[in-house]
Amino acid sequence: MFPLLLAVGCSSWVLEGAEPIRSVPAPTAVYEAPACVLRDGRWIRGSLATYYMLDASDGPVLVEMTRGRRGAKITNGWRDEAGTHFFAWVPEGPAYRYSFPSDANRPPRRVVYAADQYRPRPVSGSPGAQRPEGRAGAVCPLERVRDPRSR
């Protein structure tokens, strides 16, 4: 269980499927993941990062920024009938999948995978995109921040 607890935070500067970033252009939505539920049903503290959804010419982009203003622009993403998804992972380490459902009544979420509990796999119909295959260790509901200027 200990490796998963460390995995709930994100090491943005070593992520596959992402690139380093230091500032965020005007976001369309801002989210936080203050708590996560483990497989056994226990709740733990979530990530201290803030998540920014951006509109880009080639589709939505997700940016994760730490409180220290280090972050990652998650470039590995795809859309399907369920919604918009992003996936980033630390080589030989944890992985993170972000899902934003098409149904606005369903909350977005951040799913955390421990290092030995997943493998990156190609996304059918999305050339170059990777998705996780494996067992999630924690699910973190993403809560929309009401005033993005307060970040």
The model's pLDDT over 24-64, given as tens digits with 9 standing for 90+, comes to 777 788 999 999 999 999 999 999 899 999 888 778 889 99
For the whole model, what pTM was predicted? Answer: 0.84
pLDDT score at 99: 97
4 DSSP assignment: H
Rounded Cα distance between 90 and 143, Å, is 24
3-class DSSP string for 6-40: HHCCCCHHHCECEEEECCCCCCCEEEECCEEEECC
Q: pLDDT confidence of 74, banded at 50, 70, 90?
A: very high
Q: In this predicted model, what pLDDT tens digit does every residue of 78-125 receive, in sequence order?
A: 999 999 999 999 999 999 999 999 998 999 999 999 999 999 999 999
